[in-house]
Chains A and B, each alone.
Chain A
């Protein structure tokens, strides 16, 4: 229990830094070797709580010295599987930072630790204490771990030997992550943590679509659902795949209906225009539709200027979020740009026409080579006209979508011309005429569509009467 350790354990020590002058020892880090690894093994392979040290003990180390350190944890449990290893492993960093006097940086083979002299003075003299405290926290939080064992290695030769094995493990994991796609799994995961602030917000997390806050990926969701299946992160049975391109699944739709409180009942997870995935408000980037070029632009939180449509991030961001599906705007996390299914329903990167330079630089490697120079930034264009010219000059695929402009509808036509329209059943907020220009253009003439407005409330701010000249 927490009392048995010579150091305090609290999230308030997370940001604690140990400087060179204050450190008793440095472990692993850029000038030495080390790594941290979690392996999933069978229940009968380990003894719960066992600690093994290979190499010099902490009390044997010289003050001010630097030593290699490998931390290997083996976990077992009925619900434990290799896919959970990375999740558990990442927690080592958080937990060890909770220990007063211990600083833990980075992960995997980049780990870097320092132990404060004060911690030694207070009684920290063995790696066993650190390992046992870590194991206690692992079991407390990740209750699917039924047994856990730790082996710490401070002998250089042994560290190097195990490091080679660890590298293979990491590599295999990366391959799995890279090669795991929506179609490979039976379950997605839902996350409703944001509902404490955004009541109807639910994220659907699939291998190709990570939560837009960036904090939770499919593996994280899986781990959390195992800890508490009735908790805020839960499995969503995919069900029937209704449309592969846009990413629509019957199981997802069922959940959407329930958890959004009836706000919406369909989600196409890789679509921009139709039944898009919702966001709470913390998205890093907002996508916006530019009807003049039939393309999609993206602007991120840190960009302080205006997009080619003359609007700033905050203004456009204000149009979406709050757990509502809004046409013409989409909030995403930066990592969605890296997904192989990035808005594939609407043409993926071929539909992207503009993004700020610093954002483009961040995701440069993930932009297909044939399009990367054709996406404009604020350095290339400042408004719609210059954007049109740029896209034409560069031969952007979007140009092929441009047809001749339809006639403007005449006055006695659509109610949509004159003011705010709110359609409660579809769950969309009232939007002003400017937004209606962002609707995708209609092809073909009239007469083919029948529209019935039921229970609609039409609010007209002003009617201007004038004599027909």
Chain B
């Protein structure tokens, strides 16, 4: 019997619940979408249960930067040894508060950028402008999961940012005196801030992708040139620094209309550079935030446009010394400059080019678009004639190097503790090699100069010494492609299931590397060779593209850009990081048909138990990096930081030795299953590249792994540990549930070890493990932390 079109009668209604959404008179045009789901637009406390589950397993571990609290005038208070301050807050809660405040700052940066962009784009394109991110049905995964709505136009994001901003305000309010008193609830708030950050980022990137014609889930986005060595300094150089590309698009439009791309080198630093290339592939990327001061000192830029985030606070002091005018286009960075928005372009050009004024604020972007090219073409001949640079000539260089007394103050002032004095000594003797090596490890902060008793402009010396190396700094980075498309995820599903793809490694974030930029290239290359999917963004994406193999090819040229095993994807700028977490949501929606609408806890639970993804922010320095990491953590994605990481004050560490912490439910029947520690930690740091490589492999294990997946993951964990740490890892056997989990090539050898070293019982005829593993494999096991998701169980 089947039901077909036509007419039938319902004879009986038994236990039927009818829920009516809204009753309106016909004619009312109201077409507002009603948010769906369990926790749409959650307030601070609504996902707290989930947070508490996370925090129970991954304890917040604090490493205070400062033992005191100086928030109020009762202080400063000494909290050493977990004492309490005048208001009753103890060290633990204060550190949690500090970490939450950093997370919040990062979230505000991204979301403020988003609101600014949204206002600008609605003005230009209209609120009805449709969203277009590529061939996906799930266009805004984070928005759907967090808000419970499915946006179709950019205007649909207005209530999303309203929600974001309300959360930011409430969260910031809790940093006031006498608010939250408990560390664990500060952590829950931090996780909330992190989640809000990802939402703000998604909005920012989706709207610019849709309106500004950026690549839409495009795997073969063009390759952009990156590096200080690629810039043609004989032309006028227009440098844009920051993260918010809005104003720069007007400049690019003007340059297109007037055919100026041949005449002007339009270059960018930081994420603005990424987004510039996504809009117009004629733009070039100088590099990451580490290059900022170095590039300014070189004297090559003839005009600098700044917007927001990661811009040097001493911009005006540095640029006025070198006659580089500065135009500020965003009220987050104004430098005390005069607001000339209403003034005539020619007047501004005259004042800036003559040197009468060092810069100006200009909030009218149409004017910026016209003024910048005109001004830079005027400045260039003036500056080039003078040959302005901060770098010393050869004689001056020798004098400066020789004046060093080897006092070591610069080494103490350097965030990396680089041996600047040794390099200076060698250079005085005519040997530049130490400086050439040091140049890449130098993050261009300039602190050394303030400490030098001889007032040697050390950064200038480093850059001058490394000129040869700098000229060769020519890399390629694939233009930010935006999201990962639904069809790509479907195709990759087979590899994830069959274990052909051992995991996803997201190498993202800032360039405060402990030992230069080559580390992340090496890490990316090693993981790509092993068929991991490597995703990247921001400064890391640029640095990964700076190194080449023996054939002169960068990683982006050697590996494809599809969401497929052994591929390298650049999502784009910092706000594009949202697409990385969004991809895990798409997997839950596409493969498990989970209803993602307003359903954060269930999705995070799915991600944490099944999707082998790990983030690596090797050089994380900013508050934004912490908010991105914390947002990943709430979604169940572990993150590893470099050795500067503990300066964020708080990590989320698991206790692999405490079995009670690793209990999950089987959703099929609510029974409790004790699992291996996977992922072992949520937020942790490592000291060196060699240490972090096997760690990345280990953090891709998940309780939901089938045999094939576990076998491949374990193979790489063991191989990486042997290669970089010289030994089998001590805990490899913890991740063995059956003989099918054992790496193929070493199966016999490992079975022997299990028997001899761990006392497991092996059936040597059938090569099967009889006794030993903590649990058996059952691919139908449905791991969950959430009791209400279990059949037949009630919370």
Interface residues of A (CB under 8 A from B): 1-3, 9-12, 14-15, 98, 136-137, 140-141, 143, 192-199, 201, 213-215, 228, 231-232, 259, 261-262, 274, 280-284, 301-302, 304, 312-315, 317-318, 321-324, 406-407, 409-410, 413-415, 429, 439-447, 449-466
Name the residue among A429, A445, A463 with the largest chain B CB count within 10 angstroms.
A463
Q: Which secondary structure dominates where chain B touches chain A?
A: mixed
Asked whether, in the complex, the Cβ of A10 is within 8 Å of the Cβ of B715, the reply is yes
Asked whether, in the complex, the Cβ of A462 is within 8 Å of the Cβ of B709, the reply is no
Which residues on the B side are within 8 Å of A413 (C-beta)? Answer: 7-8
CB within 8 A of A196: which of B27, B494, B497? B497
- Asked whether any CB of chain A lies closer than 8 Å to the CB of B47, the reply is no
Which residues on the A side are within 8 Å of B740 (C-beta)? Answer: 228, 231
Asked whether, in the complex, the Cβ of B497 is within 8 Å of the Cβ of A451, the reply is no
How does the 8 Å CB contact mask read for B5-46 relative to A, with 1 for contact and 0 for none?
111111111111111111111110000001000000000000
**Closest Cβ of chain B: how far from A217's Cβ, in Å?**
14
Asked whether, in the complex, the Cβ of B21 is within 8 Å of the Cβ of A461, the reply is yes
B-side interface size class: 35 or more
- Asked whether any CB of chain A lies closer than 8 Å to the CB of B342, the reply is no
**Closest Cβ of chain A: how far from B29's Cβ, in Å?**
12
- Asked whether any CB of chain A lies closer than 8 Å to the CB of B535, the reply is no
Interface residues of B (CB under 8 A from A): 1-27, 34, 135-138, 485-487, 489-494, 496-498, 529-531, 566, 587, 589-595, 610, 667-668, 704-709, 712, 715-716, 719, 740, 744-749, 766-768, 777, 779-780, 782, 791
Asked whether, in the complex, the Cβ of A318 is within 8 Å of the Cβ of B21, the reply is no
A228 (CB) vs chain B CBs: closest residue: B740
**Closest Cβ of chain A: how far from B777's Cβ, in Å?**
8
- State whether A463 and B531 are in contact (beta carbons under 8 Å apart), knowing that A280-B591, A282-B490 are contacts in the complex: no
Asked whether, in the complex, the Cβ of A314 is within 8 Å of the Cβ of B136, the reply is yes
Asked whether, in the complex, the Cβ of B21 is within 8 Å of the Cβ of A462, the reply is yes
Which residues on the A side are within 8 Å of B13 (C-beta)? Answer: 453, 456
CB within 8 A of B531: which of A15, A213, A442, A461? A15
**Closest Cβ of chain A: how far from B150's Cβ, in Å?**
11
B718 (CB) vs chain A CBs: closest residue: A10
Which residues on the B side are within 8 Å of A414 (C-beta)? Answer: 7-8, 10
Asked whether, in the complex, the Cβ of B18 is within 8 Å of the Cβ of A458, the reply is yes
Asked whether, in the complex, the Cβ of B135 is within 8 Å of the Cβ of A313, the reply is yes
CB within 8 A of A322: which of B20, B592, B719? B592
Q: Which secondary structure dominates where chain A touches chain B?
A: loop
B748 (CB) vs chain A CBs: closest residue: A1
Asked whether, in the complex, the Cβ of A451 is within 8 Å of the Cβ of B587, the reply is no
Per the bound structure, the CA–CA distance linking A397 and B384 in Å amounts to: 78
Asked whether, in the complex, the Cβ of A446 is within 8 Å of the Cβ of B705, the reply is no
CB within 8 A of A451: which of B11, B591, B594? B11
Asked whether, in the complex, the Cβ of A322 is within 8 Å of the Cβ of B4, the reply is no
Asked whether, in the complex, the Cβ of B592 is within 8 Å of the Cβ of A198, the reply is yes
Which residues on the B side are within 8 Å of A457 (C-beta)? Answer: 16-17, 19
CB within 8 A of B591: which of A11, A215, A228, A281? A281
Per the bound structure, the CA–CA distance linking A461 and B23 in Å amounts to: 9
Which residues on the A side are within 8 Å of B12 (C-beta)? Answer: 452-453
Known A11-B712, A196-B706; 5 more pairs at CB < 8 Å: A11-B530, A193-B708, A231-B740, A318-B589, A453-B12
**Closest Cβ of chain A: how far from B776's Cβ, in Å?**
9
- State whether A463 and B23 are in contact (beta carbons under 8 Å apart), knowing that A283-B490, A453-B16 are contacts in the complex: yes
CB within 8 A of A443: which of B4, B589, B708? B4
**Closest Cβ of chain A: how far from B145's Cβ, in Å?**
15
Which residues on the B side are within 8 Å of A215 (C-beta)? Answer: 494, 498
Asked whether, in the complex, the Cβ of B490 is within 8 Å of the Cβ of A301, the reply is yes
Which residues on the B side are within 8 Å of A9 (C-beta)? Answer: 745
Name the residue among B135, B136, B531, B777 with the largest chain A CB count within 10 angstroms.
B135
**Closest Cβ of chain A: how far from B784's Cβ, in Å?**
10
Per the bound structure, the CA–CA distance linking A281 and B749 in Å amounts to: 37
Asked whether, in the complex, the Cβ of A10 is within 8 Å of the Cβ of B17, the reply is no
Which residues on the B side are within 8 Å of A455 (C-beta)? Answer: 14-16
Name the residue among A232, A317, A439 with the largest chain B CB count within 10 angstroms.
A232
B4 (CB) vs chain A CBs: closest residue: A442
Per the bound structure, the CA–CA distance linking A194 and B493 in Å amounts to: 9
Per the bound structure, the CA–CA distance linking A407 and B566 in Å amounts to: 56
**Closest Cβ of chain B: how far from A21's Cβ, in Å?**
12
Per the bound structure, the CA–CA distance linking A215 and B768 in Å amounts to: 25
Which residues on the B side are within 8 Å of A456 (C-beta)? Answer: 13, 16-17
**Closest Cβ of chain A: how far from B558's Cβ, in Å?**
11
CB within 8 A of A458: which of B16, B497, B706, B779? B16
- State whether A192 and B591 are in contact (beta carbons under 8 Å apart), knowing that A197-B493, A313-B135, A446-B9 are contacts in the complex: no
Which residues on the B side are within 8 Å of A443 (C-beta)? Answer: 4
A99 (CB) vs chain B CBs: closest residue: B745
- The 7 nearest A-B residue pairs measured at CB: A322-B593, A442-B4, A282-B493, A446-B7, A466-B26, A9-B745, A442-B6
**Closest Cβ of chain B: how far from A386's Cβ, in Å?**
23
Per the bound structure, the CA–CA distance linking A286 and B489 in Å amounts to: 15
Asked whether, in the complex, the Cβ of B494 is within 8 Å of the Cβ of A213, the reply is yes
24 contacts between A and B (CB under 8 A): A2-B746, A10-B715, A137-B745, A192-B780, A195-B782, A213-B493, A231-B779, A312-B135, A314-B136, A318-B486, A323-B593, A407-B7, A410-B7, A440-B5, A442-B6, A445-B6, A447-B8, A449-B1, A453-B16, A456-B13, A459-B21, A463-B20, A463-B24, A465-B24
